[in-house]
């Protein structure tokens, strides 16, 4: 009688073991919703146009480089050396971290932070 009871218990234990070891059934990675937050990009400042309110940034890996244009508004927060700055304070060849949203009119920069200046010195 104990043999009949042991075999089903052993089979049930074997069936549950993968679920316990792996944390349950597989669940795919969460799909980001429409309000998943801003996009973030790190690139090198190439040029900016005061009249159009745009900033051109070069980004990529190795020889796969591309230039992306961002629209700058008055509400765009620009930080240089830990202080609030203006678009004119950014220089060519500085590395920037840009938080932005994609809109029908283009990429709208929300926040720009200088990561590395033109002399190669890291920001504090």
Confidence (pTM): 0.65
Task: Find tokens 């992306």 and name the residue.
Answer: 68
| 8 falls within a domain | no
Mean pLDDT over 25-38 rounds to: 54
The CATH code of the domain that includes 59 is 2.40.50.320
As for how many domains the chain has, the answer is 1
| 101 falls within a domain | yes
| 57 falls within a domain | yes
Domain, as residue range, for 54: 39-116
Contact 79, 64 (CB under 8 A): no
**DSSP string computed for 40-74:** EEEEEEEEEETTTTEEEEEEEETTEEEEEEEE--T
| 15 falls within a domain | no
Question: How many Cβ atoms sit within 10 Å of the Cβ of residue 97?
Answer: 16
pLDDT in tens, 43-63: 999 988 888 889 999 998 778
| 111 falls within a domain | yes
At 51 the pLDDT is 85
| 90 falls within a domain | yes
pLDDT in tens, 89-118: 888 888 999 999 998 888 999 999 998 776
At 67 the pLDDT is 92
Contact 96, 42 (CB under 8 A): yes
Distance CA 56, CA 61 (A): 17
Sign of CA dihedral 91, 71, 64, 40: positive
Of the pLDDT bands very low, low, confident and very high (cuts 50, 70, 90), residue 17 is: low
């Amino acid at each position: 009688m104990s043999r009949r009871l042991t075999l089903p218990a052993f089979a049930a234990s074997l069936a549950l073991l993968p679920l316990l070891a792996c944390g349950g059934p597989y669940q795919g990675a969460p799909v980001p919703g429409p309000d998943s937050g801003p996009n973030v990009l790190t690139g090198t400042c190439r040029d900016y146009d005061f009249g159009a309110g745009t900033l051109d940034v070069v980004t990529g890996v190795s020889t796969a480089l591309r230039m992306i244009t961002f629209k700058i508004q008055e509400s765009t927060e620009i930080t240089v050396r830990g202080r609030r700055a203006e678009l004119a304070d950014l220089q060519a060849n500085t590395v920037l971290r840009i938080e932005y949203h994609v809109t029908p009119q283009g990429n709208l920069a929300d926040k720009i932070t200088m990561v590395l200046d033109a002399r190669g010195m890291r920001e504090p």
